[in-house]
Amino acid sequence: MARRRRGLPVHGWVVLDKPLGMTSTQAVAAVRRSTGAAKAGHGGTLDPLATGLLPVALGEATKTVPYVMDGTKRYRFTIRWGEERSTDDAEGAVTATSDHRPPEAEIRTALSEFIGLIEQLPPQFSALKVDGARAYDLARAGEAVALAARQIRIDRFTLVDQPDADHATFEVQSGKGAYMRSLARDLARRLGTVGHIASLRRTAVGPFTEADAISLETLSAVGHSAAASGHLLPVETALDDIPALALTDTEANRLRSGQPVGLLRRADRERIGHLESGSMVCAMAGGKPVALARFESGDLRPVRVLNL
């Protein structure tokens, strides 16, 4: 007999303002304890030394996590010039130093070289897997970590402040898989010096912004009443960029049972609009999401059924 999952059937998103010093795994566990949810996962790792938005999916919302992880992210970070560190942030040991401090004009000129699709070498201390092991575990054990450079997308990279000669603060908007620690390291090297991230905050993930965020202290206070207090966002919030398609109850029941729904009748054309074959949609019925589905050759086929 299948084991019943312990906890409450809580479904939706909690956008946690992750505090400094906490891992993403610890943060998810804290949200799960506060809400009593039976199932939880997060929409994109944040380093312990980073603060800011960590969207936590509860219950059926975990099925929509990939759509958040693929979304655009925004960050604000401060580089400390003159010290390169093993972790590319303030946690690691100093591995190189430089007396050169780049002037503002040179910084602004160099930033344009990091916009668009660029090649980036991930940090040695990262959660990427190498032969089945996490890179940071290998690095902490003193092993050489051979990571391959990969293509990432940087949409915006701006200098916003220079509080003193040793520090500069930036804002970045990026696509999936971009490491801010690597971006800081590479910018410093391009400017003829070395550097590391002294502080890092994520300010947006996919559809979620700081306006949605809740602190761990506030969440602990509202606890299981998170839904009633408005801090539990609907499952479909993660699917803002996916077209919604309204279904009848009969059609919804077919999708729930794993069967395709034919949409070839003349009356269906207005519902479908200009939807192209292969498009993903959020199938809705009665104001609730029923499934993530793909429209193919006139049929709507369920990809992930949402049991709400």
Six token digits for residue 110: 């160099």
Judged against a pLDDT cut of 60, whether residue 215 lies above it is answered with: yes
Pick the closest to residue 103 from 31, 182, 162, 42 (CA basis). Answer: 162
The whole-angstrom distance between residue 288's C-alpha and the CA centroid of its chain comes to 24
* pLDDT score of 73 more than 90: yes
pLDDT tier at 230, thresholds 50, 70, 90: confident
Q: Is 47 a catalytic residue?
A: yes
**CA 25, CA 33: separation in Å to the nearest integer?**
12
The pLDDT tens digits for 253-286 are 999 999 998 876 666 666 777 778 888 889 999 8
Buried b (16+ CB within 10 A) or exposed e, 172-194: bbbeebbbbbbbbbbbbeebebb
The candidate with the shortest Cα–Cα distance to 34, out of 217, 209, 237, is 217
Task: Domains for the chain: give ranges and CATH numbers.
Answer: 12-71+207-238 (3.30.2350.10), 73-205 (3.30.2350.10), 242-305 (2.30.130.10)
The answer to whether residue 1 scores a pLDDT higher than 50 is no
CA distances from 241 to 236, 237, 282, 291 (A): 10, 9, 10, 15
Please pick, among 47, 88, 89, 186, the residue that the annotation labels catalytic. 47
Q: What is the per-residue pLDDT for 143?
A: 64
Do residues 124 and 86 lie in contact, with contact meaning Cβ atoms separated by under 8 Å?
yes
Secondary-structure percent of the chain, ordered helix, strand, coil, rounded to 5: 25, 35, 35
Q: What is the mean pLDDT of the chain?
A: 88
Q: Are strands 40-42 and 50-58 parallel, antiparallel or unpaired?
A: antiparallel
Predicted confidence band at 28 (pLDDT cuts at 50, 70, 90)?
very high
pLDDT tens digits, one per residue of 76-88: 999 999 999 988 9
